[in-house]
Amino acid sequence: MEQGKEDLKPLSVAYIADMTYKYHAGHYYSRFLRELRDNRLIAGVKCPKCGKVYVPPRIVCRDCFVRMEEFVPVSQEGTLLAFTVTNFHYIDTTTGEPKKIPFTTAFIKLDGADSNIVHRLDETDEKKIKAGMRLRAVFSNNRTGDYFHDIDHFSIVKDM
């Protein structure tokens, strides 16, 4: 069988998988989610050897490779490390629905944490956003144990 140029092009098949999926969060992340839901508290886990605090919590310190068991609260405020404003249509992977555009995704280092988190920022004007800005978590009134729902978004702290 002789192959022509057309035969060598990869095929693409588009489909939407419609299925129910249940995710098990595990002990550490479940505790993190319960603190958000029940207490509006952002919790990390502290390394007993180097003292670094990880948010979200993880079982083993990335530097010391020791088990961490001490959960500690961190601030609801932090510093914007990096951001991107999305201006094109995008499907939300958690709901399958198109996201409202534009939207801003932010990398945030919370005070008291040595790692960063990713979340939404409520500002979409790139001229008003810059790395180093102070941000504050805004919690949903109806929290359900879902990270991107219980913390609705982060806002720029205006009272600096």
Alpha carbon of residue 115 to chain centroid: 12
**pLDDT attached to residue 8:** 65
Helix (H) or strand (E) holding 36: helix 26-39
Instruction: State the average pLDDT over residues 100-117.
Output: 94
Instruction: State the average pLDDT over residues 107-131.
Output: 96
pTM confidence score: 0.80
Counting beta carbons within 10 angstroms of the beta carbon of residue 144, is it exposed (0 to 12), middle (13 to 18) or buried (19 or more)? Answer: exposed
Q: Measured between alpha carbons, how far is 71 from 59 in angstroms, rounded to an integer?
A: 11
Handedness of CA 118, 84, 142, 79 (dihedral sign): positive
Q: Measured between alpha carbons, how far is 66 from 73 in angstroms, rounded to an integer?
A: 20
**pLDDT attached to residue 87:** 87
What is residue 11's DSSP assignment?
P
**pLDDT attached to residue 7:** 63
Q: Which amino acid is located at 115 in the chain?
A: S
57-104: per-residue pLDDT in tens?
999 999 999 999 999 999 999 999 999 998 877 777 767 777 778 999
Q: Measured between alpha carbons, how far is 152 from 103 in angstroms, rounded to an integer?
A: 13
**3-state DSSP call for residue 126?**
helix
Estimate the share of the chain in helix, then strand, then coil, as percent rounded to the nearest 5.
15, 30, 50
Handedness of CA 111, 117, 123, 129 (dihedral sign): positive
